[in-house]
Amino acid sequence: MKKLKNILDEVLSEAVYIDIEHAMKDIKNYNMMIRQTDKSDIDDFENTLDYDDDAGYYDATNKEFETLIQDILQNLGFKPTPKNIKAASEHLQASSEWPEIIEDDDVVKELYPLMEAIMDTSMFTYKMADSFTPSELKQLKASKKISDEVYNGAIEIQRSWKQSHPTMKIGH
């Protein structure tokens, strides 16, 4: 199992770097769109968001922002569920100078433990999805090296990645 862990850690770091790179590209494109928007439109843009005085952030009801969050989640291999969208929105808004989103890969990296804390899929499942092809996962499941839950979660993560990046090679 230790050998498997070392392989997983190596592959994960490269894959996570690529996932974060894609998320950063989305953030930069979003910010460019915000910068090119007329100031009066930005005021209107902010007026389309619901400000929560208690929490001190805007709820993501703006379509462009919500699309950005969905794209980031999919790039990182997470489902864009309402719960995940809300958590990621709050995190990015709290870390940013609204309406722009901070262009800092550390802020994006912080989404991994945040998403893991609110979802059913563990980081081990994520690593399995990132390190093995679907057929290899099936073999691991058949040999009882991973549970049905881990197998199903890893396959679902791979499907999400494939939807976001159709030409992407899954595993390894």
Give the predicted TM-score (pTM) of the model.
0.56
CA dist 84 and 28 (Å) reads 21
Note if the bond before 113 is cis, omega within 30 degrees.
no
Asked if residue 62 belongs to a domain, the reply is yes
User: Exposed, middle or buried: residue 53 (CB in 10 Å: 0-12, 13-18, 19+)?
Assistant: exposed
Asked if residue 82 belongs to a domain, the reply is yes
pLDDT recorded at residue 28: 93
Tokens coding 1? 């199992």
pLDDT recorded at residue 51: 44
Asked if residue 115 belongs to a domain, the reply is yes
pLDDT recorded at residue 27: 93
- Length reported for the chain: 172
Asked if residue 74 belongs to a domain, the reply is yes
- Residue 115 domain boundaries: 28-119
CA dist 19 and 11 (Å) reads 12
Our count of domains for the chain comes to: 1
Asked if residue 57 belongs to a domain, the reply is yes
Note if the bond before 134 is cis, omega within 30 degrees.
no
Tens digits of residue pLDDT in 113-131 = 777 666 655 667 777 887 8
Mean pLDDT by 10 residues, the chain (172 residues): 53 73 92 74 50 44 82 86 86 83 87 71 72 88 87 83 70 54
Asked if residue 54 belongs to a domain, the reply is yes
